[in-house]
Structure 1
Amino acid sequence: MTAYAPSLPADLVERWDIQSAELIADTRTSLVHRVIRRDGSGAISKQLKPEGLHELSGVDFLDWRQGSGSVRVLDRVETACLLEDAGTLMLKDYRLAHGEDAANDIILSVLAELHLASADTPTDSLVPLRSHFRPVFDRASREDRPELSAALTYSACIADDLLSSQTDIRPLHGDLHHENIVSGSERGWLAIDPQGLLGDPAYDVANVFGNPDGAFTDIIDPRRIIRLVDLFAPAIGCTREKILRYAIAHAGLSICWSLEGGDRISGEGNAMERFAFLNVARRMLEEPAVSL
């Protein structure tokens, strides 16, 4: 007997030959199901809501990668897609069991696959980094809380400088972190849920600094920040200072997204964590004793 969630349209059930489906995420931007098809294979169905249409560039990025470092797109229909099921083990959980160094090795491995050259021409739907950073430029210009205004203005200035001097511009995942790297299939660790951006590859590691979620003590630890800088600079092929500057720029952007979603700087949410990281990283960048 066929069993599937009511939120999965009948036409998709028929097109993708779905026998059963489990709703695993219902967010502001999408509905995500883990499905079993009639041939016994598993997959992930993702339906974008109106608020999530910006994620189409991420699907285009996956299409372009064709499984190199990321899940494969099996089929797509307008704003819905059928994706390879990468598994259920998130790098966030693996890190808890095996430690920071083991998790970082996996990030480097996935990053290398994502940045491998492709003979295929990238889609022109990828979002340029300057457009991606628009929220921090806009909010920094109108924020009236002095301490937050200072942090966002600093982040926006760094972002503007970085974006004006990008090198090796290429397609980027754009949202690489411990919950978007997953394992459990025979293909090992794979990236999911990309933003689908176009820009300097140094940005692709910026979000790692503010993750995993809930690891606040580690996130603001200067020793961890330096370790990540030391790992990512040679992997990307750029200076250590550039890696840290992109992390600071992204922290400001992440604060803006969180505030738009109703988060506050006070409390224990993402905005507070990124605000604290930004201030620690700024001191490190400006501290003469820290050689970058």
Structure 2
Amino acid sequence: MDLGLRRRWHIASEALIADTPSSRVYRVERQGASSAIVKILKPHGVHERPGIDYLDWRDGHGAAELHDRTDDACLIEDAGTLTLSDYHQQYGDAAATDIVLTVLAELHAPSPTPPPPELVPLRQHFRALFDGAGRQRPELGDMLRWTAALADELLAAQTDIRPLHGDLHHDNIVSGGPRGWLAIDPQGLIGDAAYDVANIFGNPLGGAKDILDPARIERLANRFSGALGCSPDKILRYAAAHAGLSICWSMEGEPSKAAEENIAERLAFAKLVRQRLAAQQ
């Protein structure tokens, strides 16, 4: 971290906690102030700017507070080190879902200020699925075309359009600080509120037993539909569309065991939703 940022934010010590292709993230101790998180975007991370704009707009409601920003560096509230994944492992899915719903209600609460214009529309967010659905591996083609068609139908008929976190899942909801459970690392999207729970269905990481449990899928759909005022089918359609998008993102990245596991898991999940939706017709 450069000297200018250390001086600006009175940083006494720092510890690198993440180094990704898009950013470096530090937990810092500050002179005369509480610990904080410093996130510095790399050139490849400019797509994360709308997420920072979203944090600024949310002003601490449901999400970690953005304390300051300069260029592509920002100082963010340290929300804690306990992830909802850890909590899920100890207390189970129903208790973790209660927390998701509490955080979601805060994130979707009205704001007195207009949303930032830089938020990414959902159709743009789904570009990788629309671009990749017809030219991915043969064994994925049918499901990706189906999820792309789902996404196209959903995006053409959006309701309850609002700013969205866009990447809400069990590792992006954390606690341990004085304000309890908070969302971190938003994508900063704008679109149908039902999309904001889509990624919960594919998490927590390593939780295939839960993720591919039809009873859990039905339970989440019912709980989220009640909270968001829409049908369980709509929730599930967005979840399946997101599964297709996640597969395409994994295909775009470097080949890895984690990517292949994500592809297999998301594909299996989308198949379950497809079967469930077909049974309802």
Instruction: Normalising by structure 2, report the TM-score.
Output: 0.97
**1:117 aligns to what?**
110
Identity across matched positions, percent: 58
Tell me the equivalent position of 2:276.
Answer: 284
Deviation at 1:50, TM superposition (A): 1.3
Contact 2:250 2:260 in 1 (8 A): no
Question: What's the secondary structure of 1:179's corresponding residue?
Answer: coil
Instruction: State the partner residue of 1:157.
Output: 149
The answer to whether structure 1 residue 203 and structure 2 residue 195 are counterparts is: yes
- Deviation of 1:262 after TM superposition, in Å, equals 2.6
1:1-292 aligned at under 5 Å gives the runs 8-143=1-136, 145-263=137-255, 269-288=261-280
Q: Distance in 2 between matches of 1:22 and 1:199?
A: 36
Partners of 1:24 and 1:269 in 2: CA distance: 24
Provide the secondary structure at the position in 1 that maps to 2:28: strand
Match of 2:26, SS state, is strand
Cα deviation, 1:33-68, whole Å, max 9, x if unaligned, reads 000001141000000111111010000000000000
**Structure 2 unaligned regions, length at least 5:** none
Distance in 1 between the 2:52 and 2:157 partners? 27
Q: Secondary structure at the residue paired with 1:257?
A: helix
Hey, what's the Cα distance between the residues in 2 that align with 1:28 and 1:168? 34
* 1:146 to partner: Cα distance: 3.0
* Distance in 2 (alpha carbons) for counterparts of 1:98 and 1:142: 42
Pairwise CA RMSD: 1.4
Task: State the shift of 1:268 in Å.
Answer: 5.3
Quick check: 1:265–1:272 contact (8 Å CA) kept in 2?
A: no
Aligned residue identity for 2:11: I
Question: What secondary structure is seen at the aligned counterpart in 2 of 1:109?
Answer: helix
Per-residue deviation, 1:276: 1.2
Question: Where does structure 1 lack aligned partners over 5 or more consecutive residues?
Answer: 1-7
Deviation at residue 229 of structure 1 after TM alignment: 0.3
Maintained 8 Å contact 1:69/1:113? yes
Alignment-mate amino acid for residue 83 of structure 2: M
Q: Is the 8 A contact 1:265 1:271 kept in 2?
A: no
Deviations 1:51-87 (A, max 9, x none): 1110100000000000000000000011110000000
Deviation at 1:270, TM superposition (A): 1.3
Letter in structure 1 aligned against 2:246:
S
CA distance in 2, matches of 1:135, 1:17: 41
Q: Which letter does structure 1 place at the counterpart of 2:172?
A: N
Give the Cα–Cα distance (whole angstroms) in 1 for the partners of residues 2 and 268 of structure 2: 43
Residue type at the aligned position of 1:62: L
Confirm or deny: 8 A CA contact 1:264 1:272 kept in the other structure. no
Q: Using the TM superposition, give the Cα deviation of residue 266 of structure 1 relative to its aligned residue in structure 2, in angstroms.
A: 10
- Displacement of 1:234 in angstroms is 0.9
More helix by share: 2
